[in-house]
Structure 1
Amino acid sequence: MEARARTAEAAGLGGQVPRLAARLKAPVQTLASLLLATSVAALAQTSLPTLVQADGTLNPAWRFVGFPKAKADISPTRFEAGRVDGVAAVQVVTASSYGTLVHEGSGPAPVWLRWRWRLDTPLSGGTAQPDILTKAGDDAALKVCVMFEHALDRVPFVERTILRIARRVSGEALPAATVCYVWDSTHPALTQGPNPYTKRVRFISLQGRGAPLARWAQESRDVAADFATLFADELPEGAALPRVTRVLLGADSDNTTSTSSGWVADLHWTERGP
């Protein structure tokens, strides 16, 4: 049984608001659960604190957020500060689990987001094949995501209605747009698309099938360009990038009941490109 609730099909919901609200119960619960797992109150700052403090411990400015217990009893992904190849980093370990480290910050994003990461053990040993394009396989051994204050009037009607109801039910300012960079060992690098549960989350696979394991990979992403590519259908020509509300790193293996292990280091904003 999938850990996350199934999303009902949007087609055929009709135009009557009461019936729409009733029939949207499943997708509302799904969206609220997924986005609550990363949604916390935003603070007025855009710089990213170091992941690991000078004393070698995790920086408390990065807050752990797991899957809501009221929705499913999913084990937390494990985050530990450490060193590998002389680099201070956060080790990210999954075992049929879900979890993120979230930094809260509201403001215009500097252009480039940079970090290093390495995957030591890809998702394996589970009951389902990892496949980020499907609900049953929607897990990621490593991911870095940016959440945006996207205008609701740019979101399609049905999704906008679902999001509004989910916000009301959860009491949280759930994000209308999230860009995720993932390490995926199933598909080729640069595979991209919407999350199979909700189009409010869209992804790019930066490291794909055949990427070297246990070796650092440097990433540098033009976040504005990636947002414009992934949300092109919701971004008017010439419109500015929405404000960033938070940045997170994480991993999950709850859908496939897999295990994985990797590291993330040096996550920061910069004005300069690669």
Structure 2
Amino acid sequence: MSRLAPLCFWAALLTQGAWAQTPQPMAPLLNADGSASTAWRFVGFPKKQADLPPTLFEAGKVDQQAGLKVSTDASYGTWVNRWSGSPPGKLQWRWRLDEPLSGGKRSADLLSKGGDDAALKVCVMFDHPLDRVPFVERTVLRIARSISGENLPAATVCYVWDSAGPAPLEGVNPYTRRVRFISLQGRNSPLTRWTSESRDVAKDFATLFADELPKGAQTPAADVPPVTTVLIGADSDNTASKSTGWVADLRWAP
């Protein structure tokens, strides 16, 4: 059962109901009046997994610019939007880190279970064909899906602002290979300043999950599965630390 826990917590990110058949614009993080959009919702750990304090997601302003404030305190949480379809273009957003992970029991380290915390992250989940997943991982995922009753994602790409490590860095989540990441900002990145990002999600998936794409594919990006969910996250439960950051203007750009 312990091997299933890292997969099972992703079950809470999925909701019931049919997915859209045609790509739709991503819902904005904020409404026109500056309030948080109800098209996004908070998801934390399932209660049966852990009784963790929630990461806080709050609409606000910093330097007179509207955004979503993300605050952790030995906590875990995600801000989730159901979006389905092939990546229509680049995923773009602005973010800033005001307070990196600090004051904890141990240092953050994205490559270790004890330090697997991120002050900010933007993740994209994919409807990855199960037959592309290696046998052992596929078996674990099937069991986790059966236990949770949810169609757990077989592949997730996360873009991370890493408080402690170097950037850029590509890696695999220490709990599960179903989640792979790219740290875009690292320990030497400037704080308290907005930074813009623009990522070719299909290309990044083809790079991070190259070992699970059809062999001999002439255009790997053409074999990238559909997106199912986009989320913002931050966690500091492993290190028992604190952090504060902001995310704004998350959208698909043609």
Give 1:163's aligned amino acid.
Answer: L
Q: Which residue of structure 1 aligns with residue 104 of structure 2? A: 126
TM-score by length of 2: 0.94
Between the aligned partners of 2:52 and 2:5, the Cα distance in structure 1 is 16
* Alignment partner of 1:31 out of 7, 15, 30: 7
SS at 1:27 equivalent: coil
Tell me if 1:66 matches 2:6: no
Question: Is residue 142–residue 262 contact of structure 1 (8 Å, CA) maintained in 2?
Answer: yes
Following TM superposition, by how much is the alpha carbon of 1:37 offset from its aligned partner in structure 2, in angstroms?
A: 4.1
Contact 2:101 2:119 in 1 (8 A): yes
Q: Which moved more, 1:140-149 or 1:83-92?
A: 83-92
- The TM-score, its normalising length taken from structure 1, stands at 0.87
User: Structure 2: any 5+ residue segments left out of the alignment?
Assistant: none
Q: 1:167 aligns with which of 125, 135, 145?
A: 145
Q: Does the 8 Å contact 1:104/1:245 carry over to 2?
A: yes
The CA deviation string for residues 92-138 of structure 1, in whole angstroms up to 9 with x for no partner, is 00000000111002211112000000000000001011111100000
Q: 2:73, 2:236 within 8 Å by CA — same for their partners in 1? A: yes
1:53 aligns with 2:28: no
Match of 1:19 in 2: none
2:229 is matched with 246
- AA aligned to 2:202 is A
Q: How much is the aligned-residue C-alpha RMSD, in angstroms?
A: 1.2
1:83 to 28, 52, 61: 61
Match of 1:207 in 2: 185
CA distance in 1, matches of 2:14, 2:184: 24
Residue identity opposite 2:3 in structure 1 = P
For structure 1, list consecutive stretches of 5 or more residues without a partner in the other structure. 1-24
**Identical amino acids, percent of aligned pairs:** 63
**Residue in 2 that maps onto 1:16:** none
Report the Cα offset of residue 229 of structure 1.
Answer: 0.6
The range that moved more, 52-61 or 113-122, is 52-61
Kindly tell me: are residues 204 and 166 of structure 1, through their superposed partners in 2, closer, same or farther at Cα, counting changes over 3 Å? Answer: same
Q: In 1, Cα distance between the equivalents of 2:14 and 2:242?
A: 25
CA contact (8 A) 1:132 1:138 kept: yes
- Report what 1:22 is aligned to: none
Structure 2 residue 176 is matched with structure 1 residue 176: no
Please give the secondary structure, in 1, of the residue aligned with 2:13.
Answer: coil
**Farther-moved stretch of structure 1 (114-123 vs 82-91):** 82-91
Query: Using the alignment, how far apart are the partners of 1:175 and 1:76 within structure 2?
Result: 22
Count of aligned positions = 246
Contact conserved, 1:109 with 1:244, CA < 8 A, in 2? yes
| Partners of 1:104 and 1:173 in 2: CA distance | 14
Deviations 1:47-87 (Å, cap 9, x if unpaired)? 21111111221101001101111111011000100111222
